């Protein structure tokens, strides 16, 4: 199993733009260790639309150049220690966004169009610090109507965790449609799953409706409890105690290093 995950991690090249899902949608924590061992750095992380433990660990491991996100935190366990430290030291670039702007950018990529307009955002400091976001006049309005344009976000690779895939590589994502949105927008998608089933997920309408077709999925690997310490919807709950242990440990670089040494040893 670990060799499969290491093979997935080898798809990541330095400088790539990597899309990662929000903490409740299906984070492939199982890939974090292999990604760190693989060591491809200078990454541009796109959080869909916010980030948590995985982002914090990748930043702490020094693999990240830029984080494009609407927020990064450990939820109930508090702030993201490595991310916050890196921001304070100026060690990473943050492209602060707002959730629907990330969705808009992915949607533009999905449709193969250069940008997507969205409401809100005007006269914010977010806009002031995002020269890549533009303001245009709504050409359909009778009067003045400025509207923000979000450029397409085209990640190189999307990585997430889901309950199941079938032998053909179709992945069941249920109602977590942001996982599909990530996959549609990304050049390639790699997925870890709790289990691989023999039935064809596209073979009946009930499961087909919640299935991301193999068309978008480059590789699938088995990783039981692969979201841990995050939970996976319909499968298991978040291990808040473990998140708190991490949050306490990672308050210092030394503590983060010690925690990750144990974590990487377990994943070996």
Three-state secondary-structure class, residue 145: coil
Least CB distance to another protein at residue 51 (A): 9
- At residue 173, φ and ψ (nearest 5 deg) are -115, 5
Rule CB under 8 A: say whether 100 interacts with another protein. Answer: yes
For 123: left if phi > 0, alpha if psi spans -120 to 50, otherwise beta; the answer is left
Rule CB under 8 A: say whether 199 interacts with another protein. Answer: no
151 has which bridge partners? 115
Residue range at the interface with another protein (CB under 8 A); choices 28-36, 143-151, 158-166, 211-219: 143-151
Rule CB under 8 A: say whether 38 interacts with another protein. Answer: no
Least CB distance to another protein at residue 181 (A): 6
Site for another protein in 219-238 (CB under 8 A): 233
Rule CB under 8 A: say whether 143 interacts with another protein. Answer: yes
Helices 53-60, 253-267: axis angle to 10 degrees equals 110
Q: Of 13, 39, 42, 76, which lies in the binding site for another protein, with binding defined by CB under 8 A? A: 76
Edge-first strand order for the sheet with 146-151 is 115-118, 146-151, 134-137
- The CA distance from 19 to 118, in Å, is 21
Q: Which residues bind another protein (CB under 8 A)?
A: 22, 24-25, 48-50, 69-73, 75-76, 79-80, 83-84, 87-90, 93-94, 96-101, 103, 107, 118-126, 129, 143-147, 175-181, 233
């Amino acid at each position: 199993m670990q060799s499969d995950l290491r093979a997935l991690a080898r798809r990541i090249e330095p400088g790539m733009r990597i899309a990662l899902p929000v903490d409740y949608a299906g984070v492939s924590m199982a890939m974090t260790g292999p990604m760190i061992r693989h060591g491809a750095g200078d990454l541009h992380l796109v959080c869909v639309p916010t980030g948590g433990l995985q982002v914090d660990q990748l930043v702490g491991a020094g693999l990240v150049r830029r984080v494009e996100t609407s927020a990064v935190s450990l939820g109930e366990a508090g702030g993201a220690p490595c991310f916050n430290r890196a921001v304070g030291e100026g060690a990473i670039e943050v492209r602060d966004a707002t959730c629907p702007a990330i969705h808009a950018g992915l949607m533009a990529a999905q449709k193969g169009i250069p940008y997507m307009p969205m409401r809100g955002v005007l006269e914010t400091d977010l806009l002031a610090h995002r020269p890549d976001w533009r303001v245009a006049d709504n050409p359909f309005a009778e009067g003045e109507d400025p509207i923000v344009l979000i450029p397409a976000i085209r990640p190189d690779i999307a990585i997430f965790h889901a309950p199941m895939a079938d032998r053909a590589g179709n992945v069941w994502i249920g109602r977590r449609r942001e996982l599909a949105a990530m996959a549609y927008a990304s050049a390639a998608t790699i997925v870890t799953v709790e289990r691989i089933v023999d039935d064809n997920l596209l073979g009946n309408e009930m499961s087909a409706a919640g299935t991301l077709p193999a068309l978008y999925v480059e590789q699938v690997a088995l990783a039981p409890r692969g979201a841990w310490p995050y939970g996976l919807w319909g499968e298991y709950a978040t291990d808040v105690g473990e998140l708190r242990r991490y949050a306490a440990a990672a308050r210092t670089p030394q503590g983060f290093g010690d925690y990750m040494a144990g974590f990487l040893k377990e994943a070996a």
